[in-house]
């Protein structure tokens, strides 16, 4: 099956510093990846859609200058939390979209394969 | 606005029994619905997808139903095992491949 990795799995940083999180699709190419944030006992909240070769699109209420997303290749998307503050502490999860098929009678199921998540703690 | 609701209360059942989880949605007509499993501190893992023209889908001990009239999906785990203990999330597809998730139901299967 499709495998998505994230690095690091956890990070602790001081307030005001920037943190970069990597998301990689290991055995397939993903033109679209998604970044989510999850607070304890809550559901996943979509932050942004990362498209290879173009700018990310952000959900309403998500600051694009604070959460920088780069999707430089078909297997890598990065999320940089700039000038992190304690309220940014959360569990960040990426996912890669099941690539669409065509011409063979099959259609994409839009299944997403999720990374294991990155626990960010800002002191 | 689109809303997905899952039973927020944890579900505790005895090993061997069938667990039934509910997912209700409003203001939406999804082409399909997905169920995921999430273990603590981990990302969700895809389990099953059911399309709007399918009433039921099965995979091993898992069964999902989809009632577009009631706007409800039921997720069943038969012959449940302690290893099935996790949080189960339902998700609906928005445009552009985006998923909206319910808040999840925590299942605990006691030996």
Q: Please indicate whether, in this complex, the C-beta atoms of A43 and B34 are within 8 angstroms of each other.
A: no
Distance CA A89, CA B88 (A): 23
- How far apart are the CA of B102 and the nearest CA of chain A, in angstroms? 6
Q: What is the pLDDT of residues B10-24, one digit of tens each?
A: 999 999 999 999 999
Give the mean pLDDT of chain B.
Answer: 92
Q: Which two tokens stand for residue A94?
A: 């990426």
- CB neighbours (10 Å) of residue A72? 10
pLDDT at residue B83, rounded to an integer: 97
What is the mean pLDDT of the segment spanning B87-96? 88
pLDDT at residue A108, rounded to an integer: 52
What is the mean pLDDT of the segment spanning B22-41? 89
Residue B96, pLDDT > 80, answer no
Residue A26, pLDDT > 80, answer yes
- How far apart are the CA of A61 and the nearest CA of chain B, in angstroms? 16
Is the Cα torsion angle B47, B51, B52, B57 positive or negative in sign?
negative
What is the mean pLDDT of the segment spanning B37-60? 92
Q: What is the pLDDT of residues A62-88, one digit of tens each?
A: 999 999 999 888 899 999 999 999 999
Q: Please indicate whether, in this complex, the C-beta atoms of A43 and B32 are within 8 angstroms of each other.
A: no
Q: Please indicate whether, in this complex, the C-beta atoms of A49 and B96 are within 8 angstroms of each other.
A: yes
Residue B4, pLDDT > 80, answer yes
SS3 label, residue A40: coil
Nearest to A117 among B43, B89, B102 (CB): B43
Looking at the complex, does the CB of residue B42 fall below 8 Å from at least one CB of chain A? yes
Chosen for mutation from B33, B38, B44 (greatest number of chain A CBs closer than 10 Å) is B44
Nearest to B42 among A95, A113, A117 (CB): A117
Are B48 and B25 spatial neighbours (Cβ–Cβ below 8 Å)?
no
Higher pLDDT, B82 or B97: B82
């Amino acid at each position: 099956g499709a495998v998505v990795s994230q690095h690091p799995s956890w990070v602790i940083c001081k307030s005001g510093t920037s943190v970069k999180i990597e998301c990689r699709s290991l055995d397939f190419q993903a033109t679209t990846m998604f970044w989510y944030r999850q607070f304890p006992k809550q559901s996943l909240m979509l932050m942004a859609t990362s498209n290879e070769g173009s700018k990310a699109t952000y959900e309403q209420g998500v600051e694009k200058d604070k959460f920088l997303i780069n999707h430089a290749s078909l297997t890598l998307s990065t999320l940089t939390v700039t000038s992190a503050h304690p309220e940014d502490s959360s569990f960040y999860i990426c996912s890669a979209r099941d690539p669409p098929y065509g011409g063979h009678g099959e259609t994409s199921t839009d299944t997403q394969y999720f990374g294991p998540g990155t626990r960010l703690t800002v002191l | 606005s689109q809303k997905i609701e899952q039973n927020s209360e944890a579900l505790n059942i005895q090993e061997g029994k069938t667990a039934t989880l509910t997912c209700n949605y409003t203001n939406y007509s999804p082409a399909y619905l997905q169920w995921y499993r999430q273990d603590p501190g981990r990302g969700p893992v895809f389990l099953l997808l059911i399309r709007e023209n399918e009433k039921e889908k099965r995979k091993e001990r898992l069964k999902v139903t989809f009632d577009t009239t009631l706007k409800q999906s039921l997720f069943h785990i038969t012959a449940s095992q302690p290893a099935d203990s996790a949080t189960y999330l339902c998700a609906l597809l928005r445009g552009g491949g985006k998923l909206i998730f319910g808040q999840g139901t925590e299942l605990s299967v006691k030996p």
